[in-house]
Structure 1
Amino acid sequence: MSDVTTTGESVMLGHGFYGHHSQPQRAAAGLGASWLAAAASAVPLPETPAPVVVADHGCAGGANEMGPVAAALDALRARSSTLPVEVVHTDLPTNDFGPLFRLLQSPDGYPAGRPGVYPSVVGRTLYGPLLPDRRLHLGWCAITLHWLSAMPIVVPEGVYSNLLPEGPERDALRTQAARDWHTYLTERARELVDGGELVVVAGLTGADGLSGAEGLFRMVGNQLAASVADGTLRPAEAERIFYPTWNRTLEEWTAPLAACGFDEVDRAESAADDAATYGGTDDGARFADAYTPFVRAVTEPAFFRWLDDDRTTAGREAVTTAFYAGLHARIAADAPAAACRWRVVTLRLRRRPRGPDDA
């Protein structure tokens, strides 16, 4: 285990690429859309003309946000047809918000046909403050909270946390994930009104220690090693590359809830099968054509920010192009092993009423 790094969160690939190639995230988020509508039917509403405030944590380009937010809006409007609604989308300041803005102005955006809806954006990490105290009524976060706010260490001999053996490296990642989740809950508890709710859809590690993506990341690790062997990638660069995520166990998800001010309304465990999402794996080449862009959308910024500073733009593009071409070939050769079957937990959480000593 090497020294602590200060590198923070990674964004998704921009210019609409992530939104176009994020079908697995959309499928997983779809598991929670009805829960979000149920929460919208239960949260306390402000007295008019004050708006109800809905927050979408981790919006990326917005492609996967339109349906769930629309479901929440319709549930709120079923309670009050003239209710003004603010929808606050959040993501990192380095996120490409352009596709989100274009979607919000299009017929596919949730504001279409729903007057009195006011979208806005906050460019900040969700592992920190986003809104003033007691401003938020309903929060939504889907397939985002597995990302770590920072890589606390360099892991030279691994690329994915669920493939690491127990030891100091895995302990450091677990500790970072626990700190991030506690921060997220504490800030949302501050922002939520009493009785306000959060709906979270997130990656899960099962009792067997698996997340469902191990086969894919074994291929990723093998391709990184091949890139070093053929001279495309420098050894020191490869040692720094790691997928900066942690899929919490059910106990890790639920342990801090009460201390952070939340009651658990409901929970469910499920799985999102990428083979089904992409129409099966019988034709490996066809599957690889569709699946490699998804993998690239979520890994390229996280992986290749670690290339040495002396590389030119053309040189960086050559490295990434060669890596994903090699990964495509590996996926095509063994598509069933590459297709993730993501384990997912959906949590519906309610902000407990504050006591007389609460701020």
Structure 2
Amino acid sequence: MASDPIETRKSTEGMVDYNRNSSAQQQHAIMQADHIRRLVGKLGRVEPELRLVDYGCGPGMSAIETVRPAIETYRAQFADAPIAVCHSDQPGNDWNALFGLVNGPDGYLSDNGPLRVEAAVGSFYDRLVAENSVSLGTCFFASHWLSHAVRLNAPGTVLFNDLHGAARVQLAEMAYRDWVSFLRHRTAELKPGGYLLVSALGSVPDAAEANGAAAAGRGIYRAMQAVAQSMADDGMLDAEVLNGFVFSLWFMTATEASEAISGDPILATACEVEHLAVTPAPENPDDLFKDKVDDPAEYARLYVGYTKAFADSTLRTQLFEPSAQAPDAASELADEFYRRLDALYRAHTTTYACEIWHLTVALRRR
């Protein structure tokens, strides 16, 4: 089968208003705090230092909430032991915003023991830090983004879970390769006895879905497809561009994640699976903004903001800019898209609710 063109730009570059609209990410990091504490508690004293790496950290408070419980747990055991914190993400991350938070009143630099903060800039589908150097690696809400954007023959959907035929096979193969590559690099970077904790959006079996699984967030992607199609029907978006556009995401089922690990000879030898499951979010799993459904205007505002936070750069570079007929047209198309998305959520509310299932994997380096 001939390959479709792969775009080198990463889909997460240039995310906008991330900290303000990343409530799901922040809640998820807080939810994982006890898991992080348990893993740090198992490590004992680490020489020459405890090194924490947060892969795909992003620019927001979720990065702070990921690191804080690890520092607090280790300090309670070893008050004067050195700690190094490494935040890792792509060049397009808003690093100024991140380190402003690290150094701010809600940051973690008030810690009294020796603590060094650093950054590793690059894709987590490559090696990012030295081998055998990481005590605890974390990666939240990031590994479901694939290594590269891709254009497929995908009329009628922007969501991987609604693909059929060759397009679905191609994206599934890419997702498998990326997951194995990501874990191989992280496993090599872990110290023997170190842990990797990954939690991303997941999928659950659902016989009512055409492909037998329900993907987290399926409602919000179907809302984006409906809005984009309405704009294509009105001649505002290039129909050919839309028919080739799909988000470069894959939310794995527990079976997909597990079989990729056990079926890879390097991973099966190098690490032990301590935990692997897909579970519903502990709060509002059936609708991210369920608490606001009685206020359609606020409900719509929250969904539009959330969409902008994770999807704006992808939509602009892969849909609006290729459809633009003039230099300023891409921004005008974006404004119209979000106006229509707001109207859609006001009118239909829970029809396009964003359900959340989390895939969580904890690995120990042998």
- TM-score higher than 0.5 here? yes
SS at match of 2:38: helix
| Cα displacement (A) at 1:58 | 0.5
- Stretches (4+) displaced over 4 A: 12-15, 309-313
| Cα displacement (A) at 1:44 | 5.0
1:99 alignment counterpart: 97
SS at match of 1:247: coil
2:307 corresponds to 1:295: yes
Opposite residue 264 of structure 1, the aligned amino acid is: V
2:363 alignment counterpart: 349
Moved more, 3-12 or 20-29: 3-12
Output the CA distance in 1 between the equivalents of 2:49 and 2:358.
32
Opposite residue 229 of structure 2, the aligned amino acid is: A
Opposite residue 345 of structure 1, the aligned amino acid is: L
Opposite residue 160 of structure 1, the aligned amino acid is: L
Q: Against the structure 1 CA distance between its residues 176 and 77, is the aligned structure 2 distance closer, same or farther, given a 3 Å change threshold?
A: same
Opposite residue 203 of structure 1, the aligned amino acid is: L
Per-residue CA shift, 1:71-90, capped at 9, x if unaligned? 01111112211111111111
Output the CA distance in 2 between the equivalents of 1:271 and 1:114.
37
Q: Against the structure 1 CA distance between its residues 334 and 78, is the aligned structure 2 distance closer, same or farther, given a 3 Å change threshold?
A: same
Output the CA distance in 1 between the equivalents of 2:317 and 2:2.
18
Output the CA distance in 2 between the equivalents of 1:278 and 1:26.
17
Output the CA distance in 2 between the equivalents of 1:106 and 1:236.
47
1:318 alignment counterpart: 332
Which residue, out of 49, 57, 78, partners 1:51?
Answer: 49
1:355 alignment counterpart: none
Output the CA distance in 1 between the equivalents of 2:119 and 2:325.
34
Aligned 1:157-172 pairs, distance under 5 A: 157=155, 158-165=157-164, 167-172=165-170
Output the CA distance in 2 between the equivalents of 1:171 and 1:132.
34
Say whether the 8 Å CA contact 1:12–1:298 is kept in structure 2.
no
Compute the RMSD of aligned alpha carbons: 2.0
Q: How many residues align?
A: 348
Q: Against the structure 1 CA distance between its residues 114 and 239, is the aligned structure 2 distance closer, same or farther, given a 3 Å change threshold?
A: farther
Output the CA distance in 2 between the equivalents of 1:168 and 1:309.
25
1:23 alignment counterpart: 23
Moved more, 3-12 or 63-72: 3-12
Where structure 2 has 5 or more consecutive residues not aligned to the other structure, the ranges are 207-212
1:37 alignment counterpart: 37
| Cα displacement (A) at 1:13 | 4.3
**TM-score when scaled to structure 2?**
0.89
| Cα displacement (A) at 1:95 | 1.9
1:199 alignment counterpart: 197
Output the CA distance in 2 between the equivalents of 1:347 and 1:162.
21
2:257 alignment counterpart: 253
1:356 alignment counterpart: none
Which residue, out of 206, 216, 231, partners 1:227?
Answer: 231
| Cα displacement (A) at 1:6 | 2.5
2:88 alignment counterpart: 90
| Cα displacement (A) at 1:18 | 0.8
1:10 alignment counterpart: 11
Moved more, 255-264 or 33-42: 255-264
Say whether the 8 Å CA contact 2:151–2:246 is kept in structure 1.
no
SS at match of 1:178: helix
SS at match of 2:322: coil
Say whether the 8 Å CA contact 2:253–2:359 is kept in structure 1.
no
Say whether the 8 Å CA contact 2:219–2:355 is kept in structure 1.
no
Per-residue CA shift, 1:155-205, capped at 9, x if unaligned? 33120011223x111111111111111111111111111110011111111
SS at match of 1:255: helix
| Cα displacement (A) at 1:268 | 4.1
Aligned 1:119-158 pairs, distance under 5 A: 119-157=117-155, 158=157
Where structure 1 has 5 or more consecutive residues not aligned to the other structure, the ranges are 353-359
| Cα displacement (A) at 1:318 | 0.2
**TM-score when scaled to structure 1?**
0.91
Opposite residue 159 of structure 1, the aligned amino acid is: V
Output the CA distance in 1 between the equivalents of 2:151 and 2:236.
24
Output the CA distance in 1 between the equivalents of 2:329 and 2:323.
11
| Cα displacement (A) at 1:280 | 3.3
What fraction of aligned residue pairs are identical, expressed as a percent?
25
Which residue, out of 335, 339, 342, partners 2:349?
Answer: 335
| Cα displacement (A) at 1:12 | 5.2
1:190 alignment counterpart: 188
Say whether the 8 Å CA contact 1:278–1:290 is kept in structure 2.
no
Output the CA distance in 2 between the equivalents of 1:212 and 1:134.
34
Output the CA distance in 1 between the equivalents of 2:347 and 2:33.
35
Say whether the 8 Å CA contact 2:136–2:194 is kept in structure 1.
yes
| Cα displacement (A) at 1:119 | 1.5
Output the CA distance in 2 between the equivalents of 1:342 and 1:266.
19
